[in-house]
Amino acid sequence: MKEWLFELYQYGTVIIPGGLALIYLKRKGVRAGNLTWCLTAAFVLYIAAVADVTGMGSLMSGLRLGIDYGTINLIPFSQEIDVTGYLLNINMLAPFGFLYPTLKRGARLAETMACGFGVSLFIEISQLFCWRSTDVDDLICNTLGAVVGYLLFKAASGVLKWTPRDDVKPMALALIMLVGRFLIYDGMGVAGLIYGF
């Protein structure tokens, strides 16, 4: 039960800001079809899962632990080659590259790639706040994953003869969710309350 409570908290720090952003978009008159809103919900859950899997840092973890600049690697592919790690990082942002042009009318490859780079950069910088490694290899592979996802989207939309008509501001939504988690997540504090240490 305690594990579920912690997971609920962890995902809530990302999903709640995303949900509030979606309510704001609807009130501002952003119109979209039912399929687009379903894909947007999938995008929200996907970003929450990415924040969880990457072990994003937070402001509170930075205040507790300090910032570790010693874990930064800025030289591409200078460390031991980790094919599995590279493939996992490519796969992690491929859904972003697929969903972004699905949710933003007229998104092109360069825009999708730049937004994938931005999401990855935010996550990599946040990891300085929790003593995880910040690696340019991850940034490169994540960006490549966004490109792969975009190419899959183009192939699928060509086969299905489907062109997105809606724009639910997926990059703004992703940033609101990631910034929300960075600002309100306190894993150690909440774990202490739940598990009593």
pLDDT of 72 reads 87
Cα–Cα distance for residue pair 23/151, rounded to 1 Å: 30
Give the chain's domain count: 1
Neighbours of 42 (CB within 10 A): 14
pLDDT of 91 reads 97
Under DSSP, the state recorded for 136 is: H
| 165: nearest Cα among 107, 96, 115 | 107
Spell out the per-residue pLDDT of the chain, length 197, in tens: 788 888 899 999 999 999 999 899 888 888 888 888 899 999 999 999 999 999 899 999 988 888 877 788 888 988 888 899 999 999 999 999 999 999 999 999 999 999 999 999 999 999 999 878 889 999 999 999 999 999 999 999 989 888 888 889 999 999 999 999 999 999 888 888 888 77
pLDDT of 79 reads 82
Alpha helices in the chain (DSSP H): 2-27, 34-54, 59-65, 83-103, 109-126, 136-160, 170-184, 187-195
pLDDT of 50 reads 96
pLDDT of 58 reads 93
User: Which residues span the domain enclosing 43?
Assistant: 2-195
